[in-house]
């Protein structure tokens, strides 16, 4: 099983095969519009604009599993991203990204790239860890997605190359993206 074997749903409920992205570098991100990391949408859009013509695709997957930070409908999420951050990359249907109800794509991604910890130099890292320990200690166990804006970088052959936690800003992974383009 590989990345191109997965089918996901667009925000309009249409089936989309990830095989349609063969030959592209992908950055797959679980997103939320009411999160402390939501401003990462701007950096994601900046990356997309800078590298889309060189073969980068960013795929956003809204999720409401983390403290209810994505309460909107699929169309509300799309409109929020477009109006507030000028997002033009693909935003898919809202769904779960961790646990038993996780979308198969995210089960695969977390099996391929394990959790290696948060970037402790990020200003929110300590607060995020404290909040998880206090409110969602089970999220810290295993390799599941820990919070919104976890990012997975996929090469042109569909290999999961790297996992970036929410505490890694999108602008900080430019060199990793450039190396694959």
Q: How far is the C-alpha of 131 from the C-alpha of 147, rounded, in Å? A: 11
Active-site hit among 18, 27, 35, 81: 35
Residue 81 bears catalytic tag: no
For residues 6, 13, 82 and 163, what is the CA-based torsion angle, rounded to 10 degrees? -20
Q: How far is the C-alpha of 97 from the C-alpha of 144, rounded, in Å? A: 8
Which burial class, exposed, middle or buried, applies to 78 when counting CB atoms under 10 A from its CB (0-12, 13-18, 19+)?
buried
Q: Which residues are catalytic?
A: 35
């Amino acid at each position: 099983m590989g990345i191109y074997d997965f089918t996901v749903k667009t925000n309009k409920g249409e089936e989309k095969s990830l095989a349609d992205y063969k030959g592209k570098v992908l950055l797959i991100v679980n997103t939320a519009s009411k999160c402390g990391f939501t401003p990462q949408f701007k950096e994601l859009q900046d990356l997309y604009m800078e590298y889309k013509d060189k073969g980068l695709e960013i795929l956003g997957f809204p999720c409401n599993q983390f403290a209810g930070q994505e309460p909107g409908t699929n169309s509300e999420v799309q409109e929020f991203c477009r109006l507030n951050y000028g997002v033009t990359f693909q935003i898919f249907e809202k769904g779960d990204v961790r646990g038993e109800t996780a979308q198969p794509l995210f089960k695969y991604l977390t099996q391929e790239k394990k959790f290696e910890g948060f970037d402790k130099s990020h200003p929110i890292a300590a607060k995020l860890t404290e909040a998880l320990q206090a409110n969602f200690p089970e999220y810290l166990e295993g390799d599941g997605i820990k919070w919104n804006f976890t990012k997975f970088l996929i090469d042109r052959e569909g290999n999961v190359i790297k996992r970036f936690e929410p505490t890694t800003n999108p602008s900080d992974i430019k060199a990793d993206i450039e190396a694959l383009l």
